[in-house]
Amino acid sequence: MSVVCVMKKVVGYGVAVVGLVIMAFGFNIIPLKVAFLEGVAGNYISGIGVAIVIVGVVLSMKGTGGRRGRKVKNAAEEVPIYEGTGKNRKIVGYRKD
């Protein structure tokens, strides 16, 4: 796994944690006395926190490496090798063309 991939995961986790903290403020688990947030309902603040958590999870999932999403350039295509004739054919292997 590359350093860039790990950094994307760390950023995603950080964003998710910030979202959890904002949710805690919205649900009044952590009391916060800020003047400009007094008029805003807690539901809106916690909704914003949920959205930030979702963004963080997407960022951390996007940073995953692996073979599933990559395609090999200049690779030969695999062609099936059949055994038998007609409807009795079975694939017994693959060869690269």
| pLDDT score for 64 | 56
| pLDDT score for 78 | 86
Q: What is the pLDDT of residues 16-72, one digit of tens each?
A: 999 999 898 888 888 877 776 777 778 888 899 999 999 999 988 875 555 555 566
This prediction has a pTM of 0.59
pLDDT higher at 83 or 42: 83
Residues with Cβ within 8 Å of residue 79, at least 6 apart in sequence: 94, 95, 96, 97
| pLDDT score for 72 | 62
Instruction: Give the CA distances from residue 75 to residues 14, 68, 81, 95, in Å, rounded to whole numbers and listed in that order.
Output: 38, 16, 18, 12
Where along the chain do its domains lie? Answer: 3-70
